Amino acid sequence: MTAAFYKFVDLPDYADRKEKLLALCEYHHVKGLIILAQEGINSTIAGSQTAVMSILNYLKAMPELMDLEYKVSWSEKQPFYRMKVRLKKEIVTIGIPDISPIHGAGTYVPAEQWNELIQDPDVVVIDTRNDYEVELGTFEGAIDPHVKKFSDLPHWLDEQVALKGEGGRKPKVAMFCTGGIRCEKSTALMKANGFEEVYHLEGGILKYLERIPQEKSLWRGECFVFDERVSVGHGLIAGQHELCRCCRDPLQEGAKESPKFEFGVSCPRCFDRTTEDQKARARERHKQTKLAKARGEVHFGMKKFTPAK
């Protein structure tokens, strides 16, 4: 069982919660990532149903998180290799101080009402995800900002003439992301910048794909997810995409036929951003991973390599 959840809430003692939460996850053999910050919690964890529910019940027993909502999905194998609890300044990084959904964000739009909203010609629809995510799929008619990371979005928004509005009147804006968390931040930013009619997809793309049948859907393609499933389609069924085992971004169409592709070492997207020494270390890591797999073990050197941007 995999559970994804987040909540923007004031947690001034967030750092004090780390050790007990990590110990509890390890005790129940739960793996994944939990991010804690003063502005809240953001996480995806996986394990047996009993184990994951034990963690969720522990969190929901806290007064600040008693109404914590979560999304559940299922897979045949554990999608994570380890358990981490990280302390950060933000649970999703936009890089602008004082922008917090706790103090005001856009209006939630349920999945069942989303199609009507984004088909309104007066609404500007913006995909707030990174470029490699949009590449796999997006909503019909949505604008792709082509950002490399979420913190690039504010600069892109500042440059959009279409968002200035005619006669000083700002347009209606609808934003969406994978699970809803980035839209909480981005719509809070829009509201802070004077936009009055700002909407975002409640529960994100994942909730839409879960609730809306394919024949009525305006979604095109698959949705990138941050675990070993790589992507999902309608009904949250695992898609056909694969990850580059070096940069951990999804492989582009035809990537495996490229001379820049080497399994576990590089893909066309990251080949020019790694040195020969880094590639050699990646080959050794891949070799050790194969040996560990042959012995029925997990090689914990398997992690995302972050090449220079």
Which of 220, 222, 221, 224 lies closest to 244 in space, CA to CA? 224
Which of 4, 10, 2 lies closest to 62 in space, CA to CA? 10
DSSP class per residue in 189-257: HHHHTT-S-EEEETTHHHHHHHHS-GGG--EEE-EE-SSTT-EE-GGG-B-S--B-TTT-PBPPTTGGG
Is the distance from CB of 175 to CB of 200 less than 8 angstroms? yes
The verdict on whether 25 is a catalytic residue reads no
- Active-site choice (177, 244, 246, 247): 177
Whole-number Cα distances in Å, 303 to 228, 245, 299: 12, 8, 10
The separation between CA 219 and the C-alpha centre of its own chain, rounded to angstroms, equals 17
Q: 152: burial class by Cβ within 10 Å (0-12, 13-18, 19+)?
A: middle
Whole-number Cα distances in Å, 293 to 40, 67, 285, 287, 300: 37, 41, 12, 10, 11
User: Please, which residues have CB within 8 angstroms of residue 62's CB and are 6 or more apart in sequence?
Assistant: none
Instruction: Report the distance separating Cα 262 and Cα 241, nearest Å.
Output: 16
Secondary structure class of 127 (helix, strand, coil): strand
Phi, psi of 300 (to 5 degrees): -80, 10
Instruction: Report the distance separating Cα 304 and Cα 88, nearest Å.
Output: 18
Residues serving a catalytic function are 177
